[in-house]
Copies of this chain bind each other. A is one copy, B any other.
Amino acid sequence: MPRNREFDIEQALDQALNAFWLKGYAATSMTDLMAAMGLSKSSFYQCFGSKREALLAALSRYSVRELAETRLHFNSAEPVAPLLAAWVRHSIDSGACRPSQRCGCLIVNVAVELAPHDGEIEEAVRHHLDKLAAFLADTIQRGYADGSIPKRFEPAQSADMLLNLIAGLQVLAKGGVEAHRLAAIVDVQLDCLLGQTH
């Protein structure tokens, strides 16, 4: 009868996710990971296979979590426009994997660092981006139907524009651009999309 595992896989993976999110992949050493996860190397490799595979698992986990939270946010009988505005504004705050740390968005971080050089990572990134875009497009279509969003662009175009907006904001935030400028960018973009500022 085998010895029982002493740690919880999902919890350990969350810790790994946070470590990668904070420092990036290359700059996070195995020592960093072991410290974050509270595991020995043997337990880590036994369970996750390799550093890269741990990252892939973390990406998947992050994606599932983000998409679920997004769906929950829009799961309301309220008109879509204010929900959308709140969601975009919230995205500026969500790049904090730790208090007072600017971690950005794990997908964005990994897209920049690894996607051009690793096909499987790129697929994971694409998978997330495409699913989010599809959900946003449906949501915008809903906004057209409920009349809260003026039909100015194809839903897919607006969705991609939102993706781009969020990605850009994460970069500028990590680069140290002031919060009031980020908020102003959001105002301008919401004006374009929804036809009013607040």
Enumerate chain A interface residues (CB-CB to B < 8 A): 23-24, 26-27, 101-104, 107-109, 111-113, 115-117, 122, 125-126, 129, 153, 157-158, 160-161, 163-172, 174-177, 181, 184-185, 187-189, 191-192
Contact of A181 among B108, B117, B160, B169 (CB under 8 A): B160
Copies in the complex: 2
Q: Given the complex of chains A and B, what is the CA–CA distance between A185 and B51 in angstroms?
A: 35
| 7 A-B pairs with C-beta separation under 8 A | A112-B112, A112-B113, A115-B176, A125-B175, A161-B188, A165-B168, A167-B168
Once the chains bind, are B189 and A161 in contact (CB under 8 Å)? yes
In the complex, how many angstroms separate the beta carbon of A174 from the nearest chain B beta carbon?
A: 5
Cβ-defined partner of A175 (8 Å) among B104, B115, B157, B170:
B115
- A108 contacts across to B, CB distance below 8 A: 112, 171, 175
Given contact pairs A109-B113, A125-B175, enumerate 20 new A-B contacts (beta carbons under 8 Å): A24-B26, A24-B112, A24-B113, A104-B112, A108-B175, A116-B174, A122-B175, A126-B177, A129-B172, A129-B175, A158-B188, A160-B177, A164-B165, A164-B172, A164-B189, A165-B168, A167-B168, A168-B168, A188-B192, A192-B192
Other-chain contact of A160, B107, B111, B166, B184 (Cβ < 8 Å)? B184
Least Cβ distance of A165 to chain B in Å? Answer: 6
A24 contacts across to B, CB distance below 8 A: 26, 112-113
Q: How far is the CB of A113 from chain B (nearest CB, A)?
A: 6
Report chain B residues within 8 Å CB of A160: 177, 181, 184-185, 188
Q: For A104, A175, A176, A185, which residue has the most chain B Cβ atoms within 10 angstroms?
A: A175
